[in-house]
Amino acid sequence: MPATCVIGLQWGDEAKGKLVDLLTADFDVIVRYQGGANAGHTVVVDGQTYKLHLIPSGILNPAVKNVIAAGVVLNPETLLAEIEGLEKRGVAVQSNLLLSSRAHVVFPWHVEEDRLQSSRSVQGEQIGTTLRGIGPCYRDKVGRLYAVRLGDLGRADFRDIVARITAAKNDYFAAIRGSETSVPLDPDAIHAQYQQYAHRLQPLMVDSTAFLLDNAEAGKRILLEGAQGALLDIDHGTFPFVTSSNSSGVGVSSGSGLPGRWVERVLGVMKCYSTRVGGGPFPTEQDNETGAHIRKLGNEFGTTTGRPRRCGWFDAVAVRYSARLSGVDSLAVMMIDVLSELPEIKVCTAYEIDGERVTQFPAHADDLRRAKPVYESIAGWQKDVRNVRRLADLPSPARAYLDRLSELLQRPVGIVSVGPGREQTIIAHSDWDCLVERGLARRAN
């Protein structure tokens, strides 16, 4: 049975966690394959809110295996805190979580490097990272000399590895800290701490690549859960204002180890407006009352950092690009309830760049920064839709809005979300009927 992917189509925070949790009833294995604890997936089950950073959202379903695959950068401290938090709430984690021994490990020096770089600008703006050490860890992975994988924590020479890396990092910090006093990293303390982590995580470690290939070949149903959003993709996003992994659909294979031929279906998740955290161009941003209204009603504050998110109108140029890039065949439109009070809703259908009308998403942030959105106006519905459960019961302007989004993105809308709860979900396309209904039934039992 081939795999299904869930990919965010904007700059992250598209409410993918809710969807993955809902869909898990129909899968045997759920996989996180890129990013790290920079992600924040919120899942609301039976009125209880769970905030997950590293652990796949499927952990709330005791019947599925959850895999953190090779492409993830893993901070053991964060992961253990997340495991403990879930276990305290009665979630069975140990028996349902597998960690790739190939995943790269985030160390305190990565977090410190992230912090030190955070005040620096690129192209006149700060990237505004989540300060979780994600970029520095991926940089060391690519550089290889200072990289440590989860499986390395148990090596006989792990103490020597830590000593070698801390010596190099201490030199680096001394050179770049300037007037800031620098407390050198203590290799013994770090080694002791990471040995403890290794002891606790060892029982969960597997060769996830082999595990996933075996499961795919055995016909198991696999759901791959993307983190962040396609526009933050390191190679195809709004570089340099991106994350450090392939967060669009193109990252699925490299991060999980499953060849693309196993991926049968890609669900693209998007909010019916846009948000962005951190720096970088955002043509449809509404730094005004409309943006503040969306932020308030959508509770648009970062799950990981608590930062207020920048809010704006839906950008069909950007999302058409990210949907194509990610091979999306069906759309999940989230947070439609957030726009309910607005008398008028705008959608960006093209950009004007240096006087020219453009419908192709620019490759360079400088061009995107100069893009002026060309808007189409759509009447608001001004009705509470949070209790609507069937597409036909949505107010007609809301249906017209969904139809227009589908037309602009050239893809059918499969799922519409009218609130954070699992039951606040409309199945708009028969392809998703059984999946979502089984998910809802599971929760009701």
Q: Which is nearer to ligand IMP, 65 or 236 (CB)?
A: 236
Stated as kind and residue range, the H or E segment containing 105 is strand 104-105
Instruction: Give the residue from 80, 78, 75, 66 showing the smallest Cα distance to 32.
Output: 66
Task: Establish if 127 lies at the interface with ligand IMP (CB under 6 A).
Answer: yes
And the tokens for 22? 């809902």
Minimum Å distance from CB 396 to ligand IMP?
33
Separation of alpha carbons 236 and 246, rounded Å: 8
On whether the CB atoms of residues 33 and 63 are closer than 8 A, the answer is no
Q: Which amino acid is at 177?
A: R
Minimum CB separation of residue 362 from ligand IMP in Å reads: 18
State yes or no: is 13 an active-site residue: yes
Q: Which of residues 118 and 387 has its CB atom nearest to ligand IMP in the complex?
A: 118
Catalytic site includes residue 199: no
Q: How far apart are CA 84 and CA 73, in angstroms?
A: 19
State the amino acid at position 264 in one-letter form: E
Q: Is position 71 an interface residue for ligand IMP (rule: CB under 6 A)?
A: no
Question: Which of these is catalytic: 21, 26, 28, 41?
Answer: 41
The interface region with ligand IMP, picked from 35-43, 60-68, 328-336, 342-350 by CB under 6 A, is 35-43
**Nearest residue to ligand IMP, scored by beta-carbon proximity:** 278
Q: With binding defined as CB under 6 A, does residue 42 bind ligand IMP?
A: no
Report yes or no: 239 and 366 within 8 Å, Cβ to Cβ: no
Q: Which is nearer to ligand IMP, 123 or 340 (CB)?
A: 123
Query: Which is nearer to ligand IMP, 311 or 342 (by Cβ)?
Result: 311
The dihedral formed by the CA atoms of 331, 336, 339 and 341, expressed in degrees to the nearest 10: 150
Identified binder of ligand IMP from the candidate list 232, 269, 270, 332, rule CB under 6 A: 232
> Interface with ligand IMP by CB under 6 A: which range of 227-235, 337-345, 368-376, 404-412?
227-235
Q: Which of residues 247-286 bind ligand IMP (CB under 6 A)?
A: 277-278
Strands 3-8 and 263-271: parallel
Piece of 36-44, 259-267, 287-295, 356-364 that binds ligand IMP (CB under 6 A): 36-44
The DSSP string of 57-100 is: GGGGSTTSEEEE-TTBEE-HHHHHHHHHHHHHTT---TTTEEEE
Name the one range near ligand IMP by CB under 6 A: 214-222, 238-246, 292-300, 352-360: 238-246
Asked if 228 is part of the footprint of ligand IMP (rule: CB under 6 A), the reply reads: yes
132 near ligand IMP, judged by CB under 6 A: yes
| Beta bridge partners of residue 372, listed in sequence order | 352
**Applying CB under 6 A, does 39 fall inside the site for ligand IMP?**
yes
Binding to ligand IMP in span 277-336, by CB under 6 A = 277-278
Tokens, residue 45 = 């089950």
Residue 243 touching ligand IMP (CB under 6 A): yes
For residues 368 and 346, is the Cβ–Cβ distance under 8 A?
Answer: no
User: Which of 130, 208, 248, 274 lies at the binding interface for ligand IMP (CB under 6 A)?
Assistant: 130
* Minimum distance, C-beta of residue 372 to ligand IMP, in the bound complex (Å): 23
Query: If binding is defined by CB under 6 A, does position 134 make contact with ligand IMP?
Result: yes
Q: Looking at 4, 6, 7, 12, which residue binds ligand IMP (CB under 6 A)? A: 12
Helix (H/G/I), strand (E/B), else coil: 225: strand
Write the DSSP string, 113-128: HHHHHTT--BTTB---
- Which residues have CB under 8 Å from 311's CB, separation 6+? 273, 274, 275, 285, 286, 290, 291, 292, 294, 295, 298, 300
CA 404, 239, 262, 150 dihedral sign is negative
Q: Which of 257, 296, 285 is nearest to 10 (CA)?
A: 285
Q: Which of 13, 140, 152, 337 is catalytic?
A: 13
**How many residues line the site for ligand IMP (CB under 6 A)?**
21
| Cβ-based nearer residue to ligand IMP, 40 or 108 | 40
Query: Is 13 one of the binding residues for ligand IMP (CB under 6 A)?
Result: yes
Shortest distance in whole angstroms from residue 88 CB to ligand IMP: 24
Q: What are phi and psi of 105, to 5 degrees?
A: -100, 135
Q: What residues contact residue 186 under an 8 Å CB cut-off, 6+ apart?
A: 166
Q: Is 244 one of the binding residues for ligand IMP (CB under 6 A)? A: yes
Q: Which residues bind ligand IMP (CB under 6 A)?
A: 11-13, 38-40, 127-130, 132, 134-135, 227-228, 232, 241, 243-244, 277-278
Any idea which residues carry the catalytic annotation? 13, 41
